[in-house]
Amino acid sequence: MADLDLATTWFLAARAMACGGEPLSMSEEAAAGLFARAILGLDEEVCIAAKDASHMTAHTLVDCMSMASHLPRGTADQVMTGVMMVAYAAASMQPLQVRWASMLASAMEMDEDRFQRCCVNARVVASMLPAGEEAVGD
């Protein structure tokens, strides 16, 4: 999968999780973004291109699930972990967030064990972030 598609999948999936709950602080957003960039190996250019407004509005969550279903297993696990981190960074589990995690995991053809492993990883990383994490660019 091209980097732009991966970045598009990531930003749509992470935004959906963020929008399903209470508004995130910038540091929480940045923590998830940093994780994704480091783990998914996305460079700045690709992230900025994926977040371009016209590019984003051309894609729906159904597109996101479709792209997620084509991710290699390891990459899909990383995306799922990052998405769960978005919820965990804000210690939030609103109904729409629960629904999104369920739909995305299923689109990735995960079973319950695999999903739970991603959640454990997300929890560990989220716990390592101080609650008052520095702002972006510090």
Applying the rule CB under 8 A, the residues between 90 and 109 that interact with other proteins are: 90-103, 105-107, 109
Figure out which of the listed residues 54, 72, 74, 137 binds other proteins, where binding follows CB under 8 A.
137
Calculate the CA 45 to chain-centre distance: 18
Closest distance to other proteins from the beta carbon of 88 (Å): 6
> Do 20 and 103 meet the contact criterion of CB atoms below 8 Å apart?
no
Closest distance to other proteins from the beta carbon of 73 (Å): 15
Take residue 92 and report the two structure tokens written for it: 């939030």
Q: Is 60 in the site for other proteins (CB under 8 A)?
A: yes
Applying the rule CB under 8 A, the residues between 20 and 59 that interact with other proteins are: 20, 22-30, 32-34, 37, 44, 47-48, 51, 53, 56
Nearer to other proteins, 32 or 39 (CB): 32
Nearer to other proteins, 16 or 75 (CB): 16
> Do 94 and 21 meet the contact criterion of CB atoms below 8 Å apart?
yes
Q: Which residue has the tokens 């923590």?
A: 31
Considering CB under 8 A, how many residues would be counted as binding other proteins? 72
| Residue window 67-86: x/- pattern of binding to other proteins, with contact defined by CB under 8 A | -----------------x-x
Closest distance to other proteins from the beta carbon of 1 (Å): 19
Long-range pairs of 97-104 with CB within 8 A, sequence gap ≥ 24: 97/17, 97/20, 97/21, 99/20, 100/13, 100/16, 100/17, 100/20, 100/61, 101/17, 103/61, 103/65, 104/13, 104/16, 104/64, 104/65, 104/68, 104/80
